[in-house]
């Protein structure tokens, strides 16, 4: 679907979405959300989850749930976390596999925080092929670094996170860029990448996402 974001922009998009949304709701939708800290992935993931009645699967949430429930993979993950080590890809992939096997994902899912590396992306591709549930869209929410710095600095003040210094914030953004650049190239080559301008109101960004789905 193509809709203009110029003159009459959001009204034109909104009026064209109703029938298209009904069409999308008739089939499963498997989506990956990418974006740096402060890009608003959680907000947009929640809105997509509500719109399509599919779960938003956050790696952090399901990892903590597996640890809390004491599943075999959760216990293995905890052994790494307790000593301050990174949880290996194999464990993360196993926990994601278990979550995507649950009944509420039959109509689709939104992955937030996974994959983080090309190795994880390749494992997800194999998993999707095995289950005949292909990834359809990889949404990369893109925000200029200066805007991200302002957002994260504001979050630091409102949430009282004194350890989140400007230097720490810059480091997090650099780590994300370093880890994600190969991942973006990976999905671009597959023709799945959808770049979304992440500046504007929450509604404006959501409308841009709806146009590309």
187 near 121, Cβ under 8 Å?
yes
CA angle 112, 191, 28 (to 5 degrees): 55
Structure tokens at 126: 């194999």
Which candidate in 68, 126, 161, 188 is catalytic? 161
User: Is 132 annotated as catalytic?
Assistant: no
Which of 61, 54, 200, 69 is closest to 141 using CA atoms? 200
Rounded Cα gap, residues 70 and 164, in angstroms:
31
Q: Which of 64, 78, 97, 155 is catalytic?
A: 155
Name the active-site residue from 64, 116, 133, 151: 116
Instruction: Give yes or no: 22 in active site.
Output: no
Q: Which residues contact 40 (CB under 8 A, 6 or more apart)?
A: 141, 143, 198, 202, 205
97 is catalytic: no
Catalytic status, residue 78: no
Instruction: With CA atoms as reference, report the closest residue to 99 among 83, 85, 88, 110.
Output: 110
Residues designated as active site: 41, 116, 155, 161, 172
């Amino acid at each position: 679907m193509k809709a203009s974001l110029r003159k009459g922009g959001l009204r034109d998009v909104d009026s064209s979405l109703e029938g298209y949304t009904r069409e999308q709701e008739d089939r499963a939708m498997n989506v990956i959300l990418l974006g740096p800290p402060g890009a608003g992935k959680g907000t947009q993931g929640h809105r997509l989850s509500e719109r399509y009645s599919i779960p938003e699967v956050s790696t952090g949430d399901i990892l903590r749930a597996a640890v809390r429930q004491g599943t075999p993979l959760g216990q293995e993950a905890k052994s790494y976390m307790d000593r301050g080590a990174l949880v290996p890809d194999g464990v993360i992939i196993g926990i994601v596999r278990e979550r995507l096997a649950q009944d509420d994902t039959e109509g689709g899912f939104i992955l937030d925080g996974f994959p983080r590396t090309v190795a994880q992306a390749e494992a997800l591709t194999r998993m999707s092929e095995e289950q005949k549930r292909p990834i359809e869209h990889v949404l990369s929410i893109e925000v200029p670094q200066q805007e991200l710095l302002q957002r994260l600095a504001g979050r630091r003040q409102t949430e009282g996170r004194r350890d989140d210094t400007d230097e720490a914030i810059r480091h997090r953004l650099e780590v994300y860029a370093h880890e994600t650049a190969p991942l973006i190239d990976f999905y671009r080559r597959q023709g799945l990448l959808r770049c979304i301008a992440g500046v504007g109101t929450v509604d404006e960004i959501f409308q841009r996402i709806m146009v590309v789905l």
